[in-house]
Amino acid sequence: LERQLLMQNQMRERQTAMQIAWTREFLKYFGTFFGLATIGLTAGAIRKKNPGVLLPIVPLSFIFAYQYDMGYGTLLQRMKGEAENILDTESTLLELPKGPLTYEDLEKIRRSQSKFFIEK
C-alpha cells in the first residue's frame, strides 16, 4: 500500500510539473503574440486617431496575467490553499450524488451490462 501511495504521489507531481511546464511554454508564445498585438493595435490607434482600437488589449492582458501567474506566480499555492479550505470547511460539496459507490453497486452495473451473465 505504501508503494502504491508513493507511486500515485510521484505521478501527481509529474503531472503537475508537466502542467506548469506547458503553461510556461504557452506563455512564451502568447507573450510574443500579446507584444506584437499591443504594438500593432497601438500603431493602428495612433494612425487612425481612434483609441477604441486599443480595446482588445484589455482581455488579452487578463489572459496574459493569468498565464504568467500560473507559470511563474503564486496561483498554484492559492489554489492549493483554497482546496484545503474546501476540504476543511465545505466537505459536503464533495459528496457524490447517491453517496459513495459500493461494491454491490458496481456488481449491479456489471451484471446489467453483461450479455452473458445469467442471474440465479
Residue 23 · residue 67 · CB < 8 Å: yes
pTM of the predicted protein model: 0.73
Summarised one tens digit per residue, pLDDT across range 9-34 is: 999 999 999 999 999 999 999 999 99
How far is 83 from 75, CA to CA, in rounded Å? 12
- pLDDT at position 110: 87
- pLDDT at position 86: 94
- pLDDT at position 118: 61
- pLDDT at position 98: 86
How far is 40 from 34, CA to CA, in rounded Å? 10
Give the mean pLDDT per block of 10 residues along the chain (120 residues): 94 95 96 97 96 95 96 94 95 89 89 71
- pLDDT at position 28: 96
User: What DSSP string runs through the chain?
Assistant: -HHHHHHHHHHHHHHHHHHHHHHHHHHHHHHHHHHHHHHHHHHHHHHHT-GGGGTTHHHHHHHHHHHHHHHHSSHHHHHHHHHHHHHHH-GGGGPPTTSS--HHHHHHHHHHH-SS----
- pLDDT at position 99: 87
